[in-house]
């Protein structure tokens, strides 16, 4: 999800001057558009949003956001989460220690990381679906669940492309990672559009 806002958004200009809690590359995009990016630990977000210290906050999705109670203090809930379409979980090993393990132990760790990632994705997909339904039914009229206008998404995409390019030029490693990522996205994007994209389009 894009996040919770106390004010309605109509154009990209509406982001200028807003105080928003959002970290990372997404925050850098907002900053270029004139948003005052605020970094807050999770425990401080609700109070800051409730008291008007910030005007908006990005968190996760319906399941985690409702646990935080954002639906009680902010009316406008925008999607899509253009800045973070999906979260990747990580399990990190020391490479030398990993390679020193017996092969059967390494295979167990490989399997466990794959299983955790798959199970976690399925669990969140289901819980987000359940809580989205709850927002749309039990809180209808109190929360406006709204897709960001196409013009705004186009503006955000262009600025995001610029930010990623700037970040990728900061080191050879960043440049290498970005080139690999862009190549992979170019490969899978077309398949995603004609497979899942086409399927979901038939349900609307």
Mean pLDDT of 78-92: 87
Q: For residue 186, what is the enclosing H or E element?
A: helix 172-192
Average pLDDT of span 50-67: 97
Do 149 and 189 share a domain, yes or no?
no
- Tell me the C-alpha distance between 4 and 10, whole Å: 14
Q: What is the CATH number of the domain that holds 18?
A: 3.40.190.170
Please give the average per-residue pLDDT across 104-125, as a whole number.
93
Look at the block and give the residue holding tokens 């990672």: 177
The reply to whether 94 and 158 lie within a common domain is: yes
Predicted TM-score (pTM) of this structure = 0.89
Q: What is the pLDDT of residue 136?
A: 95
Counting the structural domains of the chain, the total is 2
Domain residues for the domain of 194 are 172-204
Same domain, 116 and 77: yes
Question: Phi/psi of residue 2, each to 5°?
Answer: -70, -40
Same domain, 188 and 147: no
Burial class (CB in 10 A: 0-12, 13-18, 19+), 164: middle
What would the mean pLDDT of 101-117 be, rounded to a whole number? Answer: 94
Q: Which residue has the tokens 């220690």?
A: 97
Average pLDDT, the chain: 94
Rounded to the nearest 10 degrees, the angle between the axes of helix 172-192 and helix 150-168 is 150
The region of weakest confidence among 63-67, 95-99, 149-153, 199-203 is 199-203
């Amino acid at each position: 999800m894009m996040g919770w806002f106390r004010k309605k958004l109509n154009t990209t200009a509406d982001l200028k001057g807003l105080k928003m809690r959002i970290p990372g590359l997404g925050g850098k995009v907002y900053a270029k558009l004139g948003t005052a990016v605020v970094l807050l630990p999770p425990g401080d977000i609700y109070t800051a949003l409730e008291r008007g210290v910030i005007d908006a906050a990005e968190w996760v999705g319906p399941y985690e956001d409702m646990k935080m109670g954002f639906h009680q203090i902010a009316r406008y809930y925008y999607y899509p989460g253009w800045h973070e379409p999906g979260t990747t979980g990580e399990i990190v090993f020391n490479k030398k220690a990993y390679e020193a393990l017996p092969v059967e132990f390494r295979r167990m760790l490989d399997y466990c990381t794959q299983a955790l990632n798959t199970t976690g994705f399925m669990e969140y997909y289901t819980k987000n679906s359940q809580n989205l339904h709850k927002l749309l039914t039990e809180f209808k009229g109190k929360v406006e669940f709204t897709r960001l206008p196409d013009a705004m998404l186009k503006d955000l995409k262009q600025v995001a492309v610029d930010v990623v390019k700037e970040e990728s030029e900061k080191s050879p490693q960043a440049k290498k990672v970005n080139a690999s990522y862009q190549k992979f996205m170019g490969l899978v994007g077309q398949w995603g559009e004609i497979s899942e994209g086409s399927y979901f389009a038939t349900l609307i």
